[in-house]
Amino acid sequence: MMTQMRNPTLLLLLLLSSQLCSVLSWKKDEFRNCNQTPFCKRARARKPSSSSLIAQDVAIFDGELTAKLFPEKTQENPDEQDQDRIKPLVLSLSVYQDGILRLKIDEDPKLDPPKKRFEVPDVILPEFSNKKLWLQKLSTETIGGDAGPSSIVYLLDGYEAVLRHDPFEVYVREKGGNRVISLNSHGLLDFEQLRVKRDGEEWEERFKGHTDRRPHGPQSISFDVSFYEADHVYGIPERATSFALKPTRGPGIEDSEPYRLFNLDVFEYLHESPFGLYGSIPLMISHGKSRGTSGFFWLNAAEMQIDVLGSGWDAESGISLPSSQSRIDTLWMSEAGIVDAFFFVGPGPKDVVRQYTSVTGTPAMPQLFALAYHQCRWNYRDEEDVEQVDSKFDEHDIPYDVLWLDIEHTDGKRYLTWDRMLFPHPEEMQRKLAAKGRHMVTIVDPHIKRDDSYFLHKEATEKRYYVRDATGKDYDGWCWSGSSSYLDVLRPEVRSWWAEKFSLENYVGSTPSLYIWNDMNEPSVFNGPEVTMPRDALHQEDAEHRELHNAYGYYFHMATADGLVKRGDGRDRPFVLSRAVFAGSQRYGAVWTGDNTAEWDHLRVSVPMILTLGLTGISFSGADVGGFFGNPEPELLVRWYQLGAYYPFFRAHAHHDTKRREPWLFGDRNTERIREAIHIRYMLLPYFYTLFREANTSGVPVVRPLWMEFPSEEATFSNDEAFMIGSSLLVQGIYTEHARHASVYLPGKESWYEVKTGVAYKGGRTHKLDVNEESVPAFQRAGTIIPRKDRFRRSSTQMVNDPYTLVIALNSSQAAEGELYVDDGRSFEFQQGAYIHRRFVFSDGKLTSLNLAPPSPGQAQFSSECVIERIILQGLTTGQKSALIEPENQKAEIEKGPLLLHSRRGPTVITIRKPNVRIVDDWVIKLL
C-alpha cells in the first residue's frame, strides 16, 4: 500500500505541516544517503589498519573463549584522561553444533557504561543454546610473522576458529589451512563507546526538518568481513537489484551507495537499485566454485550500511593480508547495538541455509490454502463487489482460494472494525466463501487511530502500551487513520494483549476462515523522518527506536500470528502476510515485495528479490502479480501470471487508482492464458506443499537459485532470470515485450523435459527456444518424480480427496526419485507425527513407494484414502505394455495418454492408467 492520503481533510492537514515528507512520488532526496548519515560517513572514511586492537586475558570460561580487547594507544598512553580513554571491550567466542561460530563484542558492564547497549531479543531460537559445544581447552599457534601466539579452538571436523591476538582478528579456516571467513583482517573494527556528554558538545542530528536528539551520542560499530575463494556474495535483503551483489566501492565505482538495511515505506520503488526497502536481514552468503559456500550473520536491528568492496579497494593502504587466497571484502556499519555475529562454514549452499535457520528458525508450515491463488485489490468496494468477483471466478472456471480486503473495509481506518454501510454482514460474507472452500484476509496495520471512542486506542492508552516520544509522552504520528500511535510490541505483555484482540469475541465480524495482512509495519509514519518513526522514540526500558527499528515489524508480525493461533486454541496454523521483514520472520508467515509497478523491469527484478529472501530464510514470499501501481498491458499481465504461478506466494494485487484487472477483463484469449497459468499452480500444489515441508524441517527454500542445486557450475552463479522450484523444476521467465525467443541455460549432465510438451533438452548448455504467449519455459529435471493433482476445483480445499498423478522423468540410467508429503493441511498435528511422507523410487523397471515417516505410536495419526490414478513415464527407452502391482498382484495397462489433462493441444506420453494404489501404502509397480 502506498503512502498517499485519500481523506481530503487529512491530506490538507498534512500538506500544511512543515514536516510532511512528499509522498507523491519516490524522491531520492527524501531519504538519507551515506554522506548524510554520520556513522556511515565516518566508517567509510577510515583506512585499513586504522583500528589496532589487541586481544588479552584470553581464557576458557563457562565453555567459551573469552578475552578483552585493548586499543594499542591505551597501552602507550596509560595516563590519558578518563573522558578520552577508550575502555577495554569484552569478547566471547562460542561454538555450536554443525559448524556455527558466534562472536560477541560489547562494553564491559563492570566498567559502568552510561547504559546497557541493546541486544535483540526473541530472534534466536531458545533451543539453539542447547547446541552449544562446551569448550574445554584451546591451543595456540604463531601465525606468519606475528610477535605472539594466536588461540585456536575446534569448530567442526575439518574446521577451526582462530582468535588472532595482535593485531586482533577472528577467522574460520579449514583445519591448518585455507581461510573461509574472517573479521577485522583489514583492521577496520571501530566500536564507539557510550560516554557522558561534554559541555558544549553537539550530539543532535538533523535531516529534512527533523531533529534526532541522540541522547546517548555516537554508538556505532563497523568492521570488515572477508569471504575467501568466493566468486560472488548474495543476501542482505531487501532491495530491487541483482541477485549477486555488485561492488559498491573500489576502482572505477563512482558515487555508489552502500547497501542500506533500514526498513522503509518506499513509495513506488525503483528497480535495479541498492536502496533498502521494507525489510532487513543482515545475512550475507558467499559462493564460489573452488571453496563452496559460507555465510555471515550480524544480529543487529539498528540501521546498517554494507559495502561490497571491489578488487583493489585497498591498493593504497600498503598492508599485506596474511593470506594469498582470493577473497571478497565487505564493510559492515551499524548505528548502534553490539557485535553479535555468526559465522557459517557450509560448505554447501544448503548447509549454510540450514545452519542459519538453526539459529533463527525454519519457515513455518503454512496451511495448504495459503499456497493457492489469492485475489486482492485496494479495495473491493462492498459485499456486493465481493460476491460478484467470487461468482465471476466460478463463471470463468478459474480457481482461487483467498479474497482480500484493504483498509476501506474498516470503520474510518480503525482496524479490527467494519464499515457497516459497505460490509453490513461480514460473518455471512465469509461463510459464503467458506462454503466453497475459500477464505478471506483483512488488513490490520500497526498505527492505531487516536480516537477516545476507539476501543483499541482507549485500552492501549490506559495500559501505557504505546511507544513514547523522546519526552516520555505517547508518540503521535500520522498514517492512514490520521493522528496515530504505535504499540510497543517489543514488550511481551503488549504482544500478548494484541494477540487477544484476534479472538472471535474481540474481533467482531470475524470468523475462523478470516486471516490477516500486516502492512505499513516498518513502521510507516507519514510525517516522520524518512517516513518512519523518529530514532529517539522510546520503547521498554528506554530502548531507543534506533536500536530496534528493523525488528519492529517482526514483533508486530509475531504478535499477530500468535493471535490467530490463540483464536483457534492452538489448533490451526495462522496465515499472516507482512511487509516489514527481519531475521526470524520466516517463523510467523509470508512476506511480499511491496509496492512494485506494472513494468517489465519490475517483473524481472521480482525473481532476484524472491531468491534473496529465500536464501535468507524467508521461503514464503512473492511479488504482486501485475504490479501494484499502473495499468499493465495484457501481455505483461499474462506473463506475470505465468511467472507468478511459480512464486511461493501467489497473489494478484492492484492500487485503487488502477483499472480493474481481474483475470476475465482482457479478452477471451488472455483469460484462457491466465486460467491456464493458475491451473498449473493448482496442479502443482502437492509438489509445492512437499517443498514447504522440506523448508519447515531444513530451512532450504522452496524457490532456489540454480547454483543451490548445481553449486560447481559457474554459468549459474549470476543467473537470476531462471530459478529452481525444489530440486526438480526449472522456470525461466519472459521479461520482454513481444518475445519470440528465449535463451535458457539448463545445468547438469542430464536431460530436462519441457513441462508442457515433454520435449527433452540436453543439460549443460544454453538453448535458444521459440516461445509463444501461451506459457513461460519450465522444465522437469531428469531423474526426478513430481506429484500432481490434475483435476481442477473451485479451490484447493475441494481438491483434498482428489487422486494424484506421478510424473516420472527418467535419467540416463533409467532411474528417478521424488517425494510426497501430506497432512491435514491446517492443524499443528503434523508436529506430533500426523502426516504421510512417501519416497518414490524408480529403478530397474520398477516403481517403489517407501515410507519416510517415523513410527509415532500413541501420537496423532493421519490417514488418507487418496490414490494415484496416473503414472507418466518420460524418457522410457523400453516398450513394455503392462505393469504388475505388488503385493496385490494386479495388472495395470500402459498406454499413450495426455501429458496435461486440460491441454487442448498437448502431446501424448507413456502412462500407467489407474493403478489406483493408495498413497499411504507400501507398494511396487513392475513394468512387464
Helices (H) and strands (E) in the chain, counts: 15, 52
Alpha helices in 740-883 (DSSP H): none
User: Which cell numbers in the block locate residue 755?
Assistant: 513441462
Q: Does domain 36-75+84-347 have CATH number 2.60.40.1760?
A: yes
User: Which cell numbers in the block locate residue 825?
Assistant: 493441511
Average pLDDT (339-358) is: 98
User: Which cell numbers in the block locate residue 441?
Assistant: 484476509
User: For 732, which DSSP code?
Assistant: E
Residues 6+ positions from 872 with CB-CB distance below 8 Å: 805, 806, 807, 808, 897, 899, 909, 910, 911
Dmax (CA) of the chain: 93
Taking 90 as the threshold, does the pLDDT of residue 18 lie above it? no
Taking 70 as the threshold, does the pLDDT of residue 83 lie above it? no
Class at the top of the CATH hierarchy for domain 368-707: alpha beta
Higher per-residue pLDDT: 371 or 28: 371
Residues 6+ positions from 607 with CB-CB distance below 8 Å: 243, 643, 720, 721, 722, 723, 733
According to the model, what pLDDT value does residue 8 have? 40
Distance CA 97, CA 158 (A): 13
Q: Kindly tell me the burial class for residue 493, based on how many C-beta atoms sit within 10 Å of its own C-beta (0-12, 13-18, 19 or more).
A: exposed
According to the model, what pLDDT value does residue 74 have? 47
Distance CA 803, CA 789 (A): 6
Catalytic residue from among 519, 530, 676, 709 = 519
Report residue 902's pLDDT band, with 50, 70 and 90 as the boundaries.
confident
Stated pTM of the model:
0.96
Distance CA 826, CA 834 (A): 12
Strands annotated E in 726-783: 729-732, 741-746, 752-754, 760-761, 765-770, 778-781
* Least confident among 456-465, 677-686, 874-883: 874-883
Taking 80 as the threshold, does the pLDDT of residue 14 lie above it? no
Location of C-alpha cell 525454519: 362
Distance CA 656, CA 129 (A): 48
Catalytic residue from among 522, 676, 709, 869 = 522
Higher per-residue pLDDT: 916 or 81: 916
Class at the top of the CATH hierarchy for domain 803-927: mainly beta
According to the model, what pLDDT value does residue 758 have? 95
Mean pLDDT of the chain: 93
Average pLDDT (827-855) is: 96
Average pLDDT (698-717) is: 98
User: Which cell numbers in the block locate residue 374?
Assistant: 489469492
Report residue 271's pLDDT band, with 50, 70 and 90 as the boundaries.
confident
Other CB atoms within a 10 A radius of the CB of residue 319 amount to: 12
Long-range contacts of 768-774 (CB under 8 A, 24+ apart): 768/741, 768/742, 768/743, 769/741, 769/742, 769/743, 769/744, 770/740, 770/741, 771/734, 771/739, 771/740, 771/741, 771/742, 772/740, 773/635, 773/638, 773/639, 773/673, 774/673, 774/676
Nearest one of 293, 323, 237, 188 to 586, comparing CA atoms: 237
According to the model, what pLDDT value does residue 752 have? 98
Q: Could you confirm whether 595 is annotated as catalytic?
A: yes
Distance CA 870, CA 830 (A): 27
| Type of residue at 682 | Y
According to the model, what pLDDT value does residue 23 have? 37
**401 in Cβ contact with 797 (< 8 Å):** yes
Report residue 855's pLDDT band, with 50, 70 and 90 as the boundaries.
confident
User: What is the DSSP code string of 567-578?
Assistant: HTTT-BPP-EEE
Average pLDDT (841-847) is: 97
Q: 803-830 in b/e burial notation, b at 16+ Cβ within 10 A?
A: bbbbbbbbbeebebbbbbbbbbbbbbbb
HSE-up of 211 (CA within 13 Å, CB side)? 6
Distance CA 326, CA 341 (A): 23
User: What pLDDT, in 10s, does the model give residues 759-785?
Assistant: 999 999 999 999 999 999 999 999 999
Distance CA 735, CA 720 (A): 12
Q: Could you confirm whether 522 is annotated as catalytic?
A: yes
User: For 654, which DSSP code?
Assistant: -
User: Which cell numbers in the block locate residue 805?
Assistant: 498423478
End-to-end CA distance of the chain: 59
Domain extents in the chain: 36-75+84-347, 368-707, 803-927
User: What pLDDT, in 10s, does the model give residues 216-234?
Assistant: 999 999 999 999 999 999 9
Report residue 3's pLDDT band, with 50, 70 and 90 as the boundaries.
very low
Nearest one of 888, 884, 890, 787 to 839, comparing CA atoms: 787
User: Which cell numbers in the block locate residue 90?
Assistant: 569484552
Q: Could you confirm whether 108 is annotated as catalytic?
A: no
Taking 70 as the threshold, does the pLDDT of residue 73 lie above it? no
Taking 60 as the threshold, does the pLDDT of residue 109 lie above it? yes
Catalytic residue from among 595, 624, 662, 754 = 595
Alpha helices in 661-713 (DSSP H): 668-683, 685-698, 706-709
3-state secondary structure of 230: coil
Taking 80 as the threshold, does the pLDDT of residue 899 lie above it? yes
Geometric angle at alpha carbon 310, from 306 and 316, rounded to 5°: 105
In degrees and rounded to multiples of 5, residue 885 shows phi and psi of -100, 120
Taking 80 as the threshold, does the pLDDT of residue 918 lie above it? yes
Q: What percent of the chain has pLDDT over 70?
A: 94
Distance CA 468, CA 476 (A): 8
Q: Are 368-707 and 803-927 equal in CATH topology?
A: no
Higher per-residue pLDDT: 292 or 52: 292
* Least confident among 20-29, 140-149, 437-446, 736-745: 20-29
**720 in Cβ contact with 607 (< 8 Å):** yes
